Structure 1
Amino acid sequence: MTPALPLLLLGLVDSAFSGFRAYAGRDARIRKHRRNVRSAGRGLAVGAVLLLAPAVVAGLLLVTAADRERTYADLTAGALGYLLPLAVYAAAVLLSLAAYFTLPFRAGTLAMVIGLGPLTLLRPLAVATACVCALLNGGGTPSLLVGSVAGAAVLCVEPLVHRRWYGEVQ
């Protein structure tokens, strides 16, 4: 199985969370479930469009490669290397979310503050680590290029959603 599908799913889930983060804290209403879902959907839509960029870059690399089988093998090896640190990061996020939803209110809030707060700040480091791992896992420069484009895409979702829909005070 190609690691492209898990990476795509991670990118789309991250995009939905980015859309939510772009909206979070902007509305003091108590009941804002529909707005939270809409903001996550906006992030998902923006992320889906931006994640076309690494797919196009990988496609162009394959089409223009002298040895397509070797390039495909390099991209696959790089994708596996890229997936490992992101899977560890996603597991830490899921653990923090699970603690938030299962622990009593105060403990859950503490888990959110000491878990998701720093993890959000570490997202660029996780993406940079994934790019390095893609290179070190035998992916070479093609996988580093695709990984860098994918990393830039997911890191741009939150600022783009914020600027487009939440830049002005409502």
Structure 2
Amino acid sequence: MTPALPLAVLALVDAAFSGFRAYAGRDARIRKHRATLRAALRGLAVGAVLLLAPALTALLLLLTAADPARAYATLAAGGLGYLLLLTAYAAAVLLSFAAYFLLPFRASTLAVVVGLGPLTLLRPPVLAAACLGALLNGGGRPSLLVGAVAAAATLSVGPVVHRRWYR
């Protein structure tokens, strides 16, 4: 199984949330569902474009490899190492979201303060650890390169959306 599809899905979901975070707190209106949806879609669009960078990096590595089958296997192994840590992180985020939506007001506020807030701050170290996971899982330098490009693209979505639409 290739980890490319689950990694792309995680990256696009994260991009939508990054678009939302770029917008959050900029509008004092109570009913702002349309604006938050627009912000999430902007993040998704920017994320889809930035996701081309790691995809093109992996493609370039495969096209220039002496043994493309071995290079693919190496990238797949690294992708699984990258995916493992990101899946655990995504599960923690989903658990915090579930607590936010299902618990009473005070407990849901606590879920945001204790869960979603710190998890948002942990995104860069988690992505760095995922790059290390790609390296240690047998992906070697090629997977580390693709992972680093993917991490840079992922962390760039929020600032790009903020600068483009919410300055």
Decide: shared fold, TM above 0.5.
yes
Distance across 1 between alignment mates of 2:150 and 2:32? 31
Distance across 1 between alignment mates of 2:76 and 2:110? 39
Distance across 2 between alignment mates of 1:104 and 1:18? 26
Q: Map 1:25-40 to 2 at 5 A.
A: 25-40=25-40
What residue is the counterpart of 2:57 in the other structure?
57
Cα drift, residue 113 of structure 1: 1.0
Cα drift, residue 111 of structure 1: 0.6
What residue is the counterpart of 2:106 in the other structure?
106
What residue is the counterpart of 2:142 in the other structure?
142
Could you report, residue by residue, the CA deviation over 1:78-112 in whole angstroms, capped at 9, with x for unpaired residues? 00000011000000000000000000011101111
Amino acid at match of 2:162: H
What residue is the counterpart of 2:75 in the other structure?
75
Q: Map 1:1-170 to 2 at 5 A.
A: 1-167=1-167
Instruction: Give 3-state SS (helix, strand or coil) of 1:115's partner.
Output: helix
Q: Percent identity?
A: 75
Distance across 2 between alignment mates of 1:141 and 1:129? 15
TM-score (norm 2): 0.99
Amino acid at match of 2:108: G
Amino acid at match of 2:36: N
Cα drift, residue 32 of structure 1: 0.1
The unaligned stretches of length 5 or more in structure 1 are none
Backbone CA RMSD of aligned residues: 0.4
State how many pairs are aligned. Answer: 167
Instruction: Give 3-state SS (helix, strand or coil) of 1:25's partner.
Output: coil
Amino acid at match of 1:60: L
Runs of 4 or more above 4 Å deviation: none
Cα drift, residue 63 of structure 1: 0.4
Distance across 2 between alignment mates of 1:106 and 1:35? 26
